[in-house]
Amino acid sequence: MIEITSTPIVLIIVLGIAGVILPIISITRKNVSSKLYGAISLAVLISSILFVIYQLTSSAILSSFSEDVLTVDLLGDLFAISMLLVAIMTTVGSFDFIRKKSYSSIYFSLILLSTIGMVLVAYSTDLVMLFVAWELMSIPTYILAGFLKKNPSSNEAALKYFLFGALSSAIIIYGISITYGITGSTNISEVIRVFSTIDAEMLPLALLAVSMFIAGFGFKMGLVPFHMWLPDTYEGSPPTITALLAAGTKKAGFAAAIRIIIIGTIALNFDWTLALGIIAIMTMTIGNIAAIMQKNLTRMLAYSSIGHAGYILIGLATYPLSNIGLQGSLFHIINHAVMKCAAFIAVTGIIITIKTTYIDKIKGLGVRMPITALGLTISLLALAGVPPLNGFWSKLMLFGAALDAGSTYSWIYWLAIAGVLNSALSLAYYGWVIRKMYFEGDRTISIKEPKSIISVMIFSILFIVGVGVYPDLIIQFTEKIIFQLTMALN
C-alpha cells in the first residue's frame, strides 16, 4: 500500500493546492501583479523538486511494479525531477513574457496542473491511473497553446494540437480497453504476467493493443507517421508553452512508452526491433531534413525536436538486445528536456525584444543580446552533440548501443549510421543560426535583455556544460534504473 507521505501523493497535494489557489487569489484580490503568481508557483515547484530529491536519498524505493495505482521507483523519480526542472525553467522564462497579458494567474496555475499530470504519468503502474494522468497533463496544455486569444496562429496551433491530442487519447483508451479485455486487469504488472503466457489465438489482439499504444503515445512523442501537428503547434503556441510541450509532455510520452510499450513488447515475446527501428530512422531523417529548409527559428527547432525523438527511440528499439541503449535514452531525455527548453526560452527572449523569429532577422544577436545568444548557441551545440557538452555523451551511448546490438541483427548498424549522419546534418542548420548571430550584421545597438530569460540561460549553460564535463552522476543513476526495471521484469 502506498503511503500518504510518498513522493507522488505529496506532489499531487502540494502542486494541486497551489494550482487551485492561484485563480482564487486572482478572483478575490484585484490588481495583483503577475509576479506574485509566478513567485508562488516557482516556490511550490522548487520545494517539490527538493522534496523529490530528499525522498530519493532518504526513503525506501519501491519496486517498479506494484498492485497499487502508483509506485515510487527510480524511473519515476528521474522523470519527476526532469519534469519539475522543465516546469521551473518555463515558469521563470514566463515572468517577462506574461507580464503585460491578462489572466496570468490561470496561466501559471495551468502549468502547475499540467506538471502534476506529467509527474503522475511517470509514477503510474495502472492503466486507469496512466490514462487519468495523461489527460491531466494534456488538457491544460490545449488551453495554454491557445493562450494568446487575439493571435490567429495561437488559435490555429491550439485547435490542431487539440484535435490530434484528443485523437491520441481516444486511441490510447481503445488500446487500454482491448488490453483489459484480454488480461482482465488494468494493473501493468498483471498485464505483463498475462501477456507473457498469452495464447497464440489472442496474440494478434495483443499486438493490436500495443500498436495502439505506440500510435497514441507516438502522437505526443512526435514520431514520424504521427508528427503532422507538431511543427504548426510549436510555431503558433506562445514560445514558453512550446518549451513546456517540447521538453515536458513529449518526455512524458516517453515515460509512458518505457513503462508500457517496451515492457509489453518484451512480455509478448514478439520482435518489435524492426518496427521501432524503422520508425526511429524515419523520424530522425525526416525531422532533420525538414529542419534544414526552415526560415523560422521556432519551426526549425520544432523539426529538430522531431529528429531528437528518433534518436531517443534508438534506445527503445534496441532495449532487449542492449541495456546501454535504454540508459542512453533516459540520459538523452533529460539532456534534450533541458537543451530544448533552454533553446525555446531563448526564443522567448528574442520574441519579447525583437518580435520576430525569422533567422534572417536575428543577425548580430551575439553583440546585441550576448547572454541570450550564448545560451542559444550552447544549447544548439549541445543538441548537435558537440563533444564537451552533455548531448554528446547521450548520443554516444545511443549510437554505441546500436553498434552493440548490431552483432545480433546486422541491419541495426544502419541505426547508428543514420544517427551519426543526421547529427552531422543537424550541425549544418544549427551552425547556420550561430553564424547569423555572431558573424553577420553590423547593427551594434545593444538590447536590454529580460532578467528572467538571463537567469534561465545561465542555469541551462551551467547544466549543459556541467553535465557535459561530469556525466557520471546521471549515467550511474540511469544504470540503477535499468537494473531495477530488469529485476522487476524477472
Partner 1 sequence: MNNTLIDFVIVSITLLSIGIYGLAVKRNAIRMLFAIEIIINAANLNLISFARFLPHSSGQTLALFSIAIAAAEVAVGLALIIVAYRMYKNVDIAEFRSLKG
DSSP letters of 406-471?
TTTSGGGHHHHHHHHHHHHHHHHHHHHHHHHHHHS-------PPPHHHHHHHHHHHHHHHHHHH-T
Number of residues that bind partner 1 (CB under 8 A): 44
Q: Nearest approach, Cβ of 87 to partner 1 (angstroms)? A: 20
Buried b (16+ CB within 10 A) or exposed e, 350-378: bbbbeeebebebbbbbbbbbebbbbbbbb
Q: Is 135 in the site for partner 1 (CB under 8 A)?
A: yes
- Cell numbers at 273, concatenated: 526491433
**3-class DSSP assignment, residue 405:** helix
Q: Is 106 in the site for partner 1 (CB under 8 A)?
A: no
Q: Is 376 in the site for partner 1 (CB under 8 A)?
A: no
Stretch that binds partner 1, among 42-50, 60-68, 112-120, 292-300 (CB under 8 A): 292-300
Q: Is 211 in the site for partner 1 (CB under 8 A)?
A: no
Q: What are phi and psi of 229, to 5 degrees?
A: -75, -25
Rounded Cα distance between 75 and 8, Å, is: 13
Spatial contact of 261 and 214, defined as CB atoms under 8 Å apart: yes
Stretch that binds partner 1, among 126-134, 436-444, 448-456, 464-472 (CB under 8 A): 126-134
Q: Nearest approach, Cβ of 229 to partner 1 (angstroms)? A: 10
First to last CA, the chain: 22
Which residue from 22, 45, 127, 488 is in contact with partner 1, where contact means CB under 8 A?
127
Q: Report in angstroms the alpha-carbon separations of 481 from 281, 316, 418.
A: 26, 14, 27
Stretch that binds partner 1, among 155-163, 241-249, 326-334, 391-399 (CB under 8 A): 155-163
Nearer to partner 1, 205 or 396 (CB): 205
- Cell numbers at 329, concatenated: 535514452
Which residue from 132, 202, 403, 465 is in contact with partner 1, where contact means CB under 8 A?
132
Rounded Cα distance between 88 and 93, Å, is: 8
Q: Nearest approach, Cβ of 182 to partner 1 (angstroms)? A: 9
**3-class DSSP assignment, residue 70:** strand
Q: Which of residues 163-192 bind partner 1 (CB under 8 A)?
A: 163, 166-167, 169-171, 173-174, 176-178, 180-181, 184-186
Q: Is 252 in the site for partner 1 (CB under 8 A)?
A: no
Stretch that binds partner 1, among 128-136, 371-379, 395-403, 419-427 (CB under 8 A): 128-136
Nearer to partner 1, 414 or 432 (CB): 432
Nearer to partner 1, 140 or 310 (CB): 140
Spatial contact of 221 and 309, defined as CB atoms under 8 Å apart: yes
Q: Which residues bind partner 1 (CB under 8 A)?
A: 127-128, 131-132, 135, 139, 142-143, 146, 149, 152-153, 155-160, 162-163, 166-167, 169-171, 173-174, 176-178, 180-181, 184-186, 231-232, 235-236, 290, 293-294, 296, 299
